[in-house]
Amino acid sequence: MNEEKRLPSLPGLSPSSTGRAVGRTVALVCALHVILGLGPAQLFAQSAPCPSVVDIERELVASINAIRTQPRLCGDQAFAAAEPVAWNALLSVAARLHAAEMSRLNYFSHRSPEGLSPGDRIERVGYLWKTYGENIGKGQTSVAGALADWLDSPQHCAAIMQKGFRHVGLACADGGDENYWVLELGLPR
């Protein structure tokens, strides 16, 4: 018996356009893998003590939306509650590539050694942004730990609480002694 398997449709997308979007994302990840010279372990495998990608997604979306639903003081700046965000595969890829690169090249910065900004990297993976935000962290061993440290920093907290963001992606890369974390937030054009 021939059974046809269909991809689940995403809101606003037909099953065929969902399949094309997934195919483009996979092709983009493979192309970036070659361009950046990263091995499969650096792109897809999560070395201990980083959580798995599935655990990161599940914990981040629930945690960040719980944070954003409450008014918050970030340093001396008050923020009203903000709308929830959804996981975005492209932002996750951008975060993963930057975390892996920082780990591989042993640096810690929003700007890459070749001069790329977070906006450049996000756009390079195909996320066409109207606005974006990026938080980076080093040394945390969990999503909760990374979020707690960012909430303790007025600038990082403000990025998390900024209204208008619709999407989020997060990655962790094992840096040997310390993990590297990258959080990408975005609003598409």
In this prediction, residue 176 carries a pLDDT of: 84
Mean pLDDT of 67-72: 97
Predicted local distance difference test score (pLDDT) of residue 23 = 52
What pLDDT does residue 12 have? 44
**Structure confidence at residue 111 (pLDDT):** 96
pLDDT above 80 (res 86): yes
The DSSP annotation for the chain comes to: ------PPPPTTS-HHHHHHHHHHHHHHHHHHHHHHT--HHHHT---TTSPPHHHHHHHHHHHHHHHHTS-EEETTEEE------EE-HHHHHHHHHHHHHHHHHT---SS-TT---HHHHHHHTT--EEEEEEEEEES--SHHHHHHHHHHSHHHHHHHH-TT--EEEEEEEE-SSSEEEEEEEEEE-
Q: Is the pLDDT of residue 7 over 60?
A: no
pLDDT at residue 29, as a whole number:
52
